[in-house]
Chain A
Amino acid sequence: MAAINLQNVSVSYYLRKSRTRGTNLDGGSVGAQILVGQRYLEIAALQDVSLSLADGDRVGIVGTNGSGKSTLLKLCAGAVAAQSGKVEIDGVVSAQFALGSGLRSELSGRQNAALKCLYLDVPQSMVAEYVEDLKRISGLGSYFELPLSSYSAGMKSRFVMSLLRLVRGEILIMDEWINAVDPTLNETIDSLQSQLIERSKILLLASHSERVLRQWVNKIIWLERGTLKAFGPIEDVLKDYQVWMKNRK
């Protein structure tokens, strides 16, 4: 059984103060509150957030830029720490903040694929098999043996999308949803996405796309400036969020 329980959790980021940074901190229309400390600027990314997720929850996260969506995902993945409150995560977490990140452009597609397999806990005896599978899914042919730096944007996108094959975990966390830019890949990617979601017990997904949210999630977390504005069924929260966004403009 997988579960995520957050009780009154607050998360801050810290930035070292410099001569040019930290002198003029006018508040903008987006982003969390910035507090000026003696040596560091403190960005209050999440404030007093409480929520519980259990098996079967497919949750989308919405909010304006800097509202704390990525921070909430990173907190659940253990990549950032809570300054206060209680965080309880039960289950194997697979976090994909950006599938394209964590790659090395000087390495070939094959080498990057092998490294990704090893980092993402593919059994070592099966790495070669997975790499061949990724080559087939990506459809890159001989480009698979060339450095990523030589790929066009479309090729890179194909390669990144094929990496979905490696993602597994009881709690699936994704900061960007993969949308195939190449129509010939749509079917493969859709199938990989469906398998991923079926396998996972909890899905936590940040997205600005209503289509993606309606297709994949049943609940919505709405964050604004680091605070939880609403959490509930997609029909209720998404409607409120859209009305709020319209009025805000």
Chain B
Amino acid sequence: MNLWLIVRPLLSRLVRFFHISLIEARSERSSSRLGILWAPLSTLIFAGLLTGVFHQQPLREAGDFFLFVLSGYVLWNFITATVTTSTTVVQRRYDFAVHNNLTLVGLFFKLLIDRLFAMGLNLILLLGCLVIVKPQTIGLQLLLLPAMLLIMALVSLAIAYLVNVAVIFFPDLDAVFNVAMRLLFFASPVFWSAEAQGTGVRAILATYNPISHYLSVFRQCFGIVPFEPMAWAVTLSLSLILCVAGTATYRLTADFIRNLR
């Protein structure tokens, strides 16, 4: 009963923010006929393009490779949105938030919901493609998806705050983050896999680039790659570190940041 009393207002806020995201997303694309459907459609087109260009026949079947790329690109979109849309949150949106009765935490939470909303549209696309292309891959591992999404949501919240604070103190980092995300796209196994090489640059990137572990566990949820407990262990450890860093940074800087003009 007590737990429900705590959870209920959070759920209510969650639904409220998803409703706001829906209205805003619809209005942003109100001039087009397909409206918000353009979000998953553009993901589909780009993933198809990457599949066509980078598919290597001997390594994977085209269908498998398409699902590999699509799943990677869906998560990549969420990761890149976390960084690139968070560089100027306080500087540009806090005033809007204050006028709409949002706290600093509320603002970051609302923007997280915006990202989750966009990801949700892409997830529907991914599940649809899975059902069409390879329905046998969907299994019990899909039950891991809610846990994965919760981890990603918390990490996204932490990274968004850390990125924003970094840019506030060092404004030049805004451009650095944007360039870094473009580089990371190629340095992460979104449209390439290290499985065939075993050694070399790809293998190093797949091991030491933290994003590759998140991509791996995300794909595991859909049965696109086999279940690897080590990838989950690394992802959980990295997420814990990022969440602790985000919380500590918030505690140290929130008062100063709220008064920054």
Contact B96 A102 (CB under 8 A): yes
In contact, B98 and A97 (Cβ under 8 angstroms)? yes
Asked whether A1 is an interface residue with its Cβ less than 8 Å from the other chain, the reply is no
Given A74-B98, A101-B95, A107-B27, A119 and B20 contact (CB-CB distance below 8 Å):
yes
Contact A115 B20 (CB under 8 A): yes
Q: Distance in Å from the Cβ of B42 to the closest Cβ of chain A?
A: 21
The residues of A that contact B261 with a CB separation of less than 8 Å are 13-15, 43
**Cα of A248 to Cα of B249 in the assembled complex, Å:** 46
Report, as a range, how many residues of chain A touch the other chain: 20 to 34
Give the docked Cα–Cα distance between A183 and B95 (Å).
31
Distance between A12 CB and nearest chain B CB, rounded to angstroms: 6
Indicate if A126 sits at the interface (CB-CB under 8 A).
no
Point out the residue from A74, A114, A121, A124 that lies within 8 Å of B101, measured CB to CB: A121
In angstroms, Cα B259 to Cα A76, docked, is: 14
Complex alpha-carbon distance, A81 and B103, angstroms: 11
What separation, in Å, do the CA atoms of A79 and B96 have in the docked complex?
A: 11
Main secondary structure of the interface of A (DSSP, over half): mixed
From B27, B96, B171, B255, contact of A81 by CB (8 A) = B255
Nearest chain B CB to A127's CB is how many angstroms away?
A: 8
Interface size class of B (residues with CB under 8 A): 20 to 34
- Cβ of A116 and Cβ of B100 under 8 Å apart? yes
Task: Say yes or no: A118 contacts B20, CB within 8 Å.
Answer: yes
CB-nearest residue of chain B to A119: B100
Q: Which of B220-261 contact A (CB under 8 A)?
A: 254-256, 258-261
- Pick the contact of A80: B24, B100, B102, B259 (CB < 8 A): B259
How far, in angstroms, from A121 to B102 measured CA to CA in the complex? 11
- Kindly report which residue of chain B lies nearest to residue A82, judged by CB atoms: B255
Contact of B259 among A81, A94, A98 (CB under 8 A): A81
CB-CB contacts of B78-120 with A at 8 A, as 1s and 0s? 0000000000000000011011111100000000000000000
A114 in contact with B23 given A12-B259, A14-B259, A14-B261 (CB within 8 Å):
yes
Chain B: minimal CB distance from A225 (Å): 18
> Which residues on B sit within 8 Å (CB–CB) of A116?
100
A→B interface (CB under 8 Å): 11-16, 43, 74, 77-83, 94-95, 97-98, 101-102, 104, 106-108, 111, 114-116, 118-121, 124
B interface residues (Cβ-Cβ under 8 A, vs A): 12, 15-16, 19-20, 23-24, 27, 95-96, 98-103, 171, 254-256, 258-261
12 further interface pairs, Cβ-Cβ under 8 Å (given A13-B259, A77-B98, A102-B99): A14-B256, A14-B261, A79-B98, A79-B258, A81-B254, A81-B255, A83-B255, A95-B101, A102-B100, A106-B27, A111-B27, A124-B16
